[in-house]
Amino acid sequence: MGGDHAPACVVEGALLALRDAPGRFSVVLVGRQGAVADELARLGGTPAGLTVVHAPEVIAMDDPPTVALKAKKHSSIAVGLGMVRDASAQAFVSAGNTGAVFSASTLILGRLTGVGRPTIGALIPTSRGRTLLIDAGANVDCRAQHLFEFAVMGSIYMTSLEHRERPTIGLLNIGEEDAKGNEVSQEAFRLLRASSLNFRGNIEGRDLLSGEVDVAVCDGFVGNIILKFGESVPAFLKAKVKAFAARNPLNALVALIAGKGLRSSLKELDYQEHGGVPVLGVRGVSIIGHGGSTPKAIKNMILRAEEMILRRVETQIQETLRAHHG
Amino acid sequence: MGGDHAPACVVEGALLALRDAPGRFSVVLVGRQGAVADELARLGGTPAGLTVVHAPEVIAMDDPPTVALKAKKHSSIAVGLGMVRDASAQAFVSAGNTGAVFSASTLILGRLTGVGRPTIGALIPTSRGRTLLIDAGANVDCRAQHLFEFAVMGSIYMTSLEHRERPTIGLLNIGEEDAKGNEVSQEAFRLLRASSLNFRGNIEGRDLLSGEVDVAVCDGFVGNIILKFGESVPAFLKAKVKAFAARNPLNALVALIAGKGLRSSLKELDYQEHGGVPVLGVRGVSIIGHGGSTPKAIKNMILRAEEMILRRVETQIQETLRAHHG
């Protein structure tokens, strides 16, 4: 029931995933039975490998996460994650309220041993490919140890899901010199430097889009602001192009021709289009997608969830951080 | 002697300022006498209203600020700011090492009464005009009271220099709801809400480029990262356009035609092109420009310094914050 176009887009995405990977997995749609059944009927019926579990309540996109989780015990988010906790599902995927899915993942699935703070990471486009920005907004007040854990979890994710060997790690800071930044960054720098991670040192805001590292570590306050700033760049450029086009007819023609080609490049800045953001550090697989997720985006999230199960991301995180602590 | 093309660009910029505003002010060039004299000779001699003060040392762009200030007592930065302190000049302008100019402004000029932390603000381009992002990187660990002071100083600056009546203030945060953010943001929110400033509440990363407010308040850690991220957008888009152009000859033609027109829009993202960033909260006027400042940028900084003197920004800050404290 999550996302701006639920349940239509979610149901359609699930069907796409099953068609693309027949027999590899089954999908359970969790939501209001009647609404889901209507969508399935509209789309040609219920295929093999698809079942529906009824969840009468819906957490709205603008509900305050913790309040909503307490008040709505039978939301699709709570019921779906309950299935993962009870091992009747192996992964949860949602295009719903990001804060609610993250909080519910932590509360219902629980933290992995050795993880102080579960986190979410966002893959952002760069000139060279993609960089994982972690934490992407889940934890606003972080200690150095938390940033270190984000680096470990991000490194495992990029090795397992994006096939990077020994992913490079950068600490997002206000300068490249070792002693830069606030107290937390300075201590995190020392922890990362002393670890076995492929730590490249401090990176600056300008090193994100140039793709200097595979994993960029920051607290969720900075991560959230950067991501939302990045998402707003296309609209800003659109306004600028419009002003440029308004100057004379030749400009208008050029803008018209160029606009279409450039739009696809700009769309990449919307980081949530690509397979959602993983919740890392919890007991189970949970992926959060953009509220505006298309059926294709939902399909990609399901396929990514399958990959996270197969690559045993959860077990790797647990083993690495447990070893680190003791 | 500051900037990537010193002293040539600085000397040329000073001459442009004097030509644009004959008789309104005089300019003192502070630097290595020989090098400055050579430039003046190259550019046609020393005009009326221009003098040279010798400063034998140069703080390099990559010198650690505090170390450099101690080791180089006779740098152009130290000598120039010393002249403002001694009232033999009314404003200091430099395209040199940002950290060194900021630290020296604080140390040599001193803080205004009621100012806990002097700050720098950067004017960033938006869809609607320009927004002041304050703090732009000077203070990485801030308390709520400091953020409040940044808002007061930013508001005065935008009224006086950008002619905004009752400038709107936003607190950069991870959500628009009142209780969002980390501990410092929540307390700053309360201070701002209780003040007589035109406070609009929390804003998000996406609200910067859309120009939701006249003044966006954040700590220097976030401010620096956002600004450097923004500066890197043009290079990222250039790489994307290049990839687009490489796909086929038609694309290449479109990219070629469109590239030139769009470049000027993108250049705006380089916030330091426009009159430099003011140091606010110190006893005197001090403006820091981009290391790559062109002569025109230097000229704009000098004209802006004149305006800061005429508008009595320093006195206004002092009076407002003194009244606030008691």
Residues A75 and A129 grouped into a single domain: no
- Tens-digit pLDDT profile for residues B203-230: 999 999 999 999 999 999 999 999 999 9
Give the mean model confidence (pLDDT) for residues B11-29.
96
CB-CB contact of B217 with B134 (8 Å): yes
Question: What is the percent of chain B with per-residue pLDDT over 90, rounded to a whole number?
Answer: 71
Domain co-membership, B296 together with B155? no
Identify the residue among B61, B117, B124, B127 best suited for mutation to test binding to A, counting A beta carbons within 10 A and taking the highest: B127
CA distance A118 to chain B (A): 17
Nearest CA in chain B to A232: B206
CB within 8 Å: B205 and A232: yes
For residues A266 and B237, give the distance between their C-alpha atoms in angstroms, rounded to a whole number: 8
Question: What tokens does A218 get?
Answer: 């920051």
Residue B262: predicted pLDDT: 67
B265 to chain A: closest CA residue = A240
Distance of CA B261 to the CA centre of its chain: 27
- What are phi and psi for residue B231, nearest 5 degrees? -60, -25
Q: Is A225 within the bounds of a domain? A: yes
Helices A183-194 and A144-162: crossing angle, nearest 10°?
A: 50
Helices (H), ranges, chain B: 8-20, 33-42, 65-71, 76-85, 98-104, 144-162, 183-194, 206-209, 220-245, 249-267, 295-310, 313-325
Interatomic CA distance for residues A278 and A307, integer angstroms: 12
Angstrom distance (rounded) from CA A314 to CA A320: 10
Residues A51 and A188 in one domain: no
| ipTM of the shown complex | 0.89
Phi, psi of A75 (to 5 degrees): -75, 160
> 3-state class of B33 per DSSP?
helix
Give the span between the Cα atoms of A287 and B321, in whole angstroms: 48
Let me know how long chain B is: 326
Q: Is residue A315 part of a domain?
A: no
pTM: 0.91
Q: How far apart are CA A323 and CA B7, in angstroms?
A: 57
Q: How far is CA B293 from each of CA A174, B197, B271, rounded to the nearest angstrom?
A: 21, 34, 11
Answer yes or no: is B91 within a domain: yes
Identify the CA nearest to B131 among candidates B25, B271, B301, B2. Answer: B271
Please say whether the beta carbons of B223 and A223 come within 8 A: no
Using a CB-CB cut-off of 8 Å, the residues of chain A touching B240 are: 127, 262, 265-266, 268
Euclidean distance between CA atoms A93 and A113, whole angstroms: 23
Nearest to B140 among A140, A181, A240 (CB): A181
Alpha carbon distances (Å) from A138 to A36, A104, A304, B145, B210: 30, 12, 20, 25, 24
The answer to whether residues B8 and B131 belong to one domain is no
**Statement: residue B26 has pLDDT above 90:** yes
Q: How far apart are CA B317 and CA B282, in angstroms?
A: 9
Q: Are residues A91 and A129 in the same domain?
A: no
| Residue A287: closest CA among A295, A298, A296, A276 | A276
Contact B291, B4 (CB under 8 A): yes
Please name the residue that has the structure tokens 């450099």. Answer: B68
CA distance B9 to B19: 15
Residues of chain A with pLDDT below 70 are 260-274, 326
B149 shares its domain with B181: yes
Same domain, A285 and A252: no
Asked if A232 and B206 come within 8 Å (Cβ–Cβ), the reply is yes
Contact between B205 and A265 using a beta-carbon 8 Å cutoff: no
Q: How many CB pairs under 8 A join A and B?
A: 159
- Print the domain residue range for B241: 121-270
- Would residue B276 count as lying in a domain? no
Specify the DSSP class assigned to residue B118: -
What is the C-alpha separation between A252 and A245, in angstroms, rounded?
4
Q: How far apart are the first and last CA of chain A?
A: 42
Domains identified in chain B, total number: 2
B152 near B317, Cβ under 8 Å? yes
pLDDT band per the 50, 70, 90 thresholds, residue B139: very high
8 Å CB contact of A222 and B224: no
Q: Is residue B275 part of a domain?
A: no
Q: What is the pLDDT of residues B93-120, one digit of tens each?
A: 999 999 999 999 999 999 999 999 999 9
B306 and B217 co-located in one domain:
no
Is the CB of B261 less than 8 angstroms away from the CB of A251? Answer: yes
Q: Is residue A325 part of a domain?
A: no
pLDDT in tens, A70-118: 889 999 999 999 999 999 999 999 999 999 999 999 999 999 999 999 9
CATH code of residue A264 = 3.40.718.10
Average the pLDDT over B177-199 and give the result. Answer: 92
**What was the pLDDT predicted at B247?**
82
| pLDDT at B186 > cutoff 70 | yes
CB contact at 8 A, B287 and B301: yes
* Position B101 in a domain: yes
Residues 6+ apart with CB under 8 A from A183: B141
Query: Which whole number is the average pLDDT over B161-184?
Result: 91
Which residue in this structure is represented by tokens 């381009």? Answer: B125
Residue B326 scores a pLDDT above 60? no
Q: What is the pLDDT of residues B261-306, one digit of tens each?
A: 666 666 666 555 567 899 999 999 999 998 888 899 999 999 999 9
Looking at the fold, whether B68 and B165 belong to one and the same domain comes out as no
For residue A197, the 8-state DSSP code is S
Q: Is position B319 within any domain?
A: no
Half-sphere exposure of B294 (CA within 13 A, CB side): 5
**How remote is the C-alpha of A270 from its chain's centroid?**
11
Q: Do B134 and B32 lie in a common domain?
A: no
The mean per-residue pLDDT over the stretch B250-260 comes to: 74
One domain for residues B20 and B46:
yes
CB-CB under 8 Å, B251 with A254: no
* Conformation bin of residue A276: beta by default, left when phi > 0, alpha when psi is -120 to 50: left
Which residue in A has a C-alpha nearest to residue B235's C-alpha?
A210
Spatial distance between the Cα atoms of B160 and A274, rounded to a whole number of angstroms: 45
Contact A126 B236 (CB under 8 A): yes
Q: Are residues A303 and A246 in the same domain?
A: no
